[in-house]
């Protein structure tokens, strides 16, 4: 059986009891990735997320960008009630590897169709939101960063409702959510407050379709030296729209995954619309692959486009270039052509190799970290080549 077809079953990681067996009172499982990545330019250190730090030379093989280890435990408290806790360690701001709780929720099955979860779950903004750290279930070394960097918020503290019903030969899942989220970013932090969202997913016969929409209050606080300097020279009304607690954001996404015989196709589109603090952007990707026994070669094309800068204030000529640099440092626009290969060497182990040719968008460093010298934004450097190797496993 195609392992990618049964991959969604691994996301739950709730043990190996069959339907005919008495469900286990407690189950424990885990997952991980050992990966290295390098670029062909020292001043372009690749990051898998905008929440990561990156200061070493880009041409060094870096084992901190993609490597991750996670464990998850589920306890059955009642026939209709269970508790799940997941802990993950991977690089975050400041090269911090302290384990963090990514899931911690109670799940109540009110009816066969309706499930209620309360606590810390995931922000379901993408197709692979529930498995962002579980790279084993995807063909890539990591999900395309053009799309997945649009929303760095991975955990949601709140409540969600999941309603599942059959629609012909397919299964329809409706998810409604409410909650808050917080993330640390290099030299700052950001929060979602009172986020409200709805997600629809339709799956069956090798096809998965889904779409989601969310609205939220947005707080962003920068702390880098360049921002702190700008607050001393910019008019107060301009500074207030560079960081603070009064932002609002909307997020829309749609995606599909199709598998038939040995063919695989995945596509996703997402848009982030904000009124201040960060830029408005959209992104998309498409991946196609074909499975030859244990080998799955694939090709991906991905692109992120900035629609509006983080701050579009009209400024005098002396200040406008400074704001251009601020906007460029918050712009991750880029496009990527990637070739990759997944090798399923064992039932629960996959080795992957991925090469990417990345073209930076106008006035952008893409996913790469901001340079130490802000004037480097005015130095065009295209393209950047990135090589990634990884071993993914579940246990």
pLDDT tens sequence across 336-354: 999 999 999 999 999 999 9
| Per-residue model confidence (pLDDT) at position 379 | 61
Mean pLDDT calculated for residue range 172-183: 97
Examine the pLDDT at 9 and tell me if it is beyond 50: no
Q: How many CB atoms sit inside 10 A of residue 94's CB?
A: 11
Mean pLDDT calculated for residue range 24-37: 95
Look at 44-53, 262-271, 295-304, 335-344 and tell me which has the smallest mean pLDDT. Answer: 44-53
Categorize the per-residue pLDDT at 380 as very low, low, confident or very high, splitting at 50, 70 and 90: low
Beta-strand (E) ranges in the chain?
26-39, 68-78, 81-90, 100-109, 114-122, 155-167, 170-185, 188-204, 207-222, 244-260, 263-274, 280-290, 295-308, 334-346, 349-360, 384-394
Mean pLDDT calculated for residue range 137-143: 97
**Residue 126: both structure tokens together:** 């993408």
Q: Which phi and psi angles does 50 have, rounded to 5°?
A: -70, -5
Output 183 or 23, whichever has higher pLDDT. Answer: 183
| Per-residue pLDDT tens digits for 290-324 | 999 999 999 999 999 999 999 999 999 999 999 99
Mean pLDDT calculated for residue range 62-68: 93
**Residue 159: both structure tokens together:** 């409540």
Q: Which phi and psi angles does 64 have, rounded to 5°?
A: -95, -20
Sequence-ordered list of residues with C-beta below 8 angstroms from that of 161, at least 6 positions apart, any chain: 114, 115, 116, 175, 176, 177
| Per-residue model confidence (pLDDT) at position 55 | 65
| Per-residue model confidence (pLDDT) at position 98 | 86
Estimate the crossing angle of helix 320-329 against helix 225-233, to 10 degrees. 150
Examine the pLDDT at 272 and tell me if it is beyond 90: yes
| Per-residue model confidence (pLDDT) at position 12 | 42
| Per-residue pLDDT tens digits for 183-206 | 998 889 999 999 999 999 999 999
Examine the pLDDT at 5 and tell me if it is beyond 80: no
Helix (H, G, I), strand (E, B) or coil at 107: strand
| Per-residue pLDDT tens digits for 97-115 | 889 999 999 999 999 999 9
Categorize the per-residue pLDDT at 4 as very low, low, confident or very high, splitting at 50, 70 and 90: very low
Q: Say if pTM beats, i.e. exceeds, 0.85.
A: yes
Examine the pLDDT at 58 and tell me if it is beyond 80: no
**DSSP alpha helix (H) spans, 116-156:** 145-148
Mean pLDDT calculated for residue range 76-82: 96
| Per-residue model confidence (pLDDT) at position 371 | 65
Percent of the chain with pLDDT over 90: 78
Categorize the per-residue pLDDT at 18 as very low, low, confident or very high, splitting at 50, 70 and 90: very low
194: left (phi over 0), alpha (psi -120 to 50) or beta: left
């Amino acid at each position: 059986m195609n392992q990618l077809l049964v991959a969604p079953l691994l996301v739950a990681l709730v043990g190996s009891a069959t339907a005919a067996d008495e469900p286990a009172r407690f189950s424990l499982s885990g997952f991980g990735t050992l990966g290295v990545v390098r670029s062909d330019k020292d001043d372009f250190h690749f990051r898998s997320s905008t929440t990561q730090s990156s200061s070493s030379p880009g041409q060094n093989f870096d084992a901190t960008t993609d490597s991750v280890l996670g464990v998850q435990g589920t306890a059955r408290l009642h026939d209709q009630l269970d508790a799940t806790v997941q802990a993950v360690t991977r690089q975050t701001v400041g090269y911090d590897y302290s384990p963090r709780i990514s899931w911690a929720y109670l799940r109540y099955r009110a009816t066969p169709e309706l499930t209620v979860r309360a606590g810390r779950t995931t922000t379901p903004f993408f197709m692979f939101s529930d498995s962002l750290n579980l790279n084993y279930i995807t063909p890539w070394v990591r999900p395309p960063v053009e799309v997945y960097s649009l929303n760095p918020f991975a955990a949601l503290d709140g409540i969600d409702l999941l309603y599942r019903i059959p629609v012909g030969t397919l299964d329809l899942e409706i998810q409604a959510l409410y909650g808050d989220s917080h993330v640390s970013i290099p030299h700052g932090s950001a929060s979602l407050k009172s986020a409200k969202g709805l997600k629809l997913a339709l799956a069956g016969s090798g096809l998965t379709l889904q779409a989601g929409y969310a609205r939220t209050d947005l707080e962003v606080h920068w702390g880098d030296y360049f921002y702190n300097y700008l607050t001393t020279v910019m008019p107060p009304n301009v500074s207030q729209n560079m960081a603070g607690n009064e932002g609002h954001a909307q997020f829309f996404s749609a995606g599909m995954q199709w598998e038939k015989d040995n063919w695989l196709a995945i596509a996703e589109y997402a848009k982030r619309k904000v009124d201040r603090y960060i830029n408005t952007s959209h992104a998309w990707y498409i991946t196609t692959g074909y499975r030859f026994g244990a080998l799955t070669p694939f090709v991906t094309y991905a692109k992120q486009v900035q629609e509006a800068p983080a701050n579009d204030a009209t400024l005098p000529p002396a200040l406008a270039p400074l704001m251009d640099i601020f906007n460029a440092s918050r712009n991750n626009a880029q496009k990527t052509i990637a070739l990759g290969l997944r090798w399923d060497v064992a039932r629960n182990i996959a080795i992957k190799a991925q090469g990417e040719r990345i073209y930076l968008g106008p006035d952008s460093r893409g996913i790469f970290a901001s340079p130490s010298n802000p004037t480097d934004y005015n130095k065009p450097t295209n393209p950047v080549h990135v090589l990634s190797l990884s071993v993914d496993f579940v246990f």
